[in-house]
Chain A
Amino acid sequence: MEARKPSEAEAERLVETYADLILRLSYTYLKSTHDAEDICQTVLLKLMNAKPRFEGPEHEKAWIVRTTANACKDALRSGFRKRAVALDEAPDTAAPEEPDTGVTDAVMALPQKYREAIYLYYYEGYSVQEIADLTGRSVSAVSAHLSRGRGKLRTMLEGAYCEQGI
């Protein structure tokens, strides 16, 4: 049996640990899962090639979150996306099935910075201070995004979920 190369073990660790996080975060930014695999490859390859030193798992995860956010913003801004010829017969890109619930639809209808704050706060469990550090925004801005996002969600969902925390 052929021995595994160290890069294969590291690639497997990174994919198993972070691929789904990158998928969810890229979906939060791009409102689509079509580019998630490319974003994932870009982010994890950058980590493998650059070999940044991390103080621990949380430090590594924070690097992944920041780099994914930047990759998504690059993707949104890239002219490549609009220059792709929209031939009906061109094959689609890889796309995990997107969530289809009332709450996720409502969250995805929010502006990008609100979606970002809500995902990092509620799903990833980061504090407002940590989100501010991750996104390069001020604490007051993150607080405002969370507050306004919650307000818009309440309006959209007609108060059905207000008591439950958002």
Chain B
Amino acid sequence: MSREYNEAMNDLRFSPEAKKRMTANLAAAHEQAAHPRPDVYAVRGGKRRWRYAAAVAAAVVLVVGVGGVASATGNLMSMANVFDDLFNGPPAQTEVVDKIGRPIGASATSNGVTVTAEAIIGDRTNYAVVFSIAKDDGTAFEGIEPLESGILPLGFESGSSVHVDGVMTGGGSGHFYDADPSDNAIQYVEQMSVTTIGGSIIGHTARVSLSDLKMYDGSTSHVIAEGEWNMKFAVDYEDTSVDLPAGQTIKVSGMDATLDSVTVSPIALTLEYTVHEVLNWEDQESGRMSDHNQNETDRFLDPSITVSMKDGTTIEIDALRGAGGTREGANSTACNKSIMFDEFLNLDDVASITIGGAELPLP
């Protein structure tokens, strides 16, 4: 039996292509960690790409809105206004998009289909990037019926990824939609919250490796565009994150905790805190979270969060919908949370953020 086990494990190995990709990513990530200066790549501008920057934001709302309960106020920038601002004038709030968004313009063509990384918005540890996918002959992809949510039932082949150098862990989502039914392009949006070496992805290189666009029909799928699209671009938007003073005692699901760090940007709130109790983690037999461990993790990753605007209105943030992680110590549990907002938050309009009962005024 040990021979059969050893033979089976011996056959478990990365492909030469995967090793080549990993070697390149590893070397690049090491270079950037050693010389943390932003890479410089050609960036093409233009209004169309800014339009996509706004589209990324709209798409983020589409995704995070599924589980979100945040209520909008007049001080928040609605997505409709983002579009209006981009095309009809430069109101002050457009400056927010100018800072957190960047057009990209990197593209790759395979078998008559071009995939273009159009734009990215983000902060130090959260980002959303939008790609357009179009046939070079100008015809549209046929027979794709959107779901009720507007999402197109599409996906890239297993192994496709957007990897930002230096990222250690991450969680997020990806989906397809049609930003403009009058043209032949469809859009793919990927949004991620990550932990990263050095604490920021800004200045790092994003490496895109996509293959075979597939359409899903129930549990089956078929390829509608065969090919491989590889590209890279610099994550080079402005760092609009604001670090708030930490160290306060807070309550998380009734437990005592200490805020270790709080960072807010126009698109996300990122927290680190230590709960002074140990998460009761039970061994589980796979990567799928057991009910017990999920309930226990939720208990530690659900601080109450309220954003208070200067006009007196408030926004309740559902912390559970964000990404997060825990690490148990001997007597405490270190937690991190990243929550992307439903809408852009102009920090000039924010008076304070209250986390687990502790009010943190913005500078």
Contact = CB atoms under 8 A, between A and B. Distances in A.
Interface of A: 5, 7-8, 10-12, 14-16, 19-20, 23-24, 27, 30-38, 40-42, 44-45, 48-49, 74-85, 87-99, 101-104, 107, 109, 111-113, 118-119, 122-123, 153, 157, 160-162, 164-166
Interface string B206-227: 0000100000100000000000
Interface stretch (B96-104, B230-238, B323-331): B323-331
Interface of B: 1-6, 8-9, 11-15, 18-19, 22-27, 29-31, 33-34, 63, 66, 151-161, 163, 166, 168-176, 193, 197, 210, 216, 281, 283-287, 289, 294, 297, 301, 321-328
Nearest to B162: A91
B282 to A, nearest CB: 11
Contacts of B159: 92-95
Contacts of B63: 85
13 contacts: A11-B27, A16-B19, A20-B12, A23-B13, A37-B22, A41-B29, A49-B33, A77-B327, A80-B171, A83-B171, A92-B157, A122-B6, A157-B1
A82 B294 contact: yes
B160 A103 contact: no
B253 to A, nearest CB: 14
A16 B34 CA distance: 22
Contacts of B23: 8, 11-12, 15
Nearest to A101: B8
A112 B293 CA distance: 16
Contacts of B160: 91-92
A31 B5 CA distance: 15
Contacts of A84: 171-173, 323
Mostly, the A contact residues are helix
A87 B174 contact: yes
A83 B337 CA distance: 11
Contact of A32 (B9, B33, B286): B286
Contact of B169 (A8, A15, A78, A157): A78
B281 A77 contact: yes
Contacts of B287: 30-32, 34-35, 75-76, 81
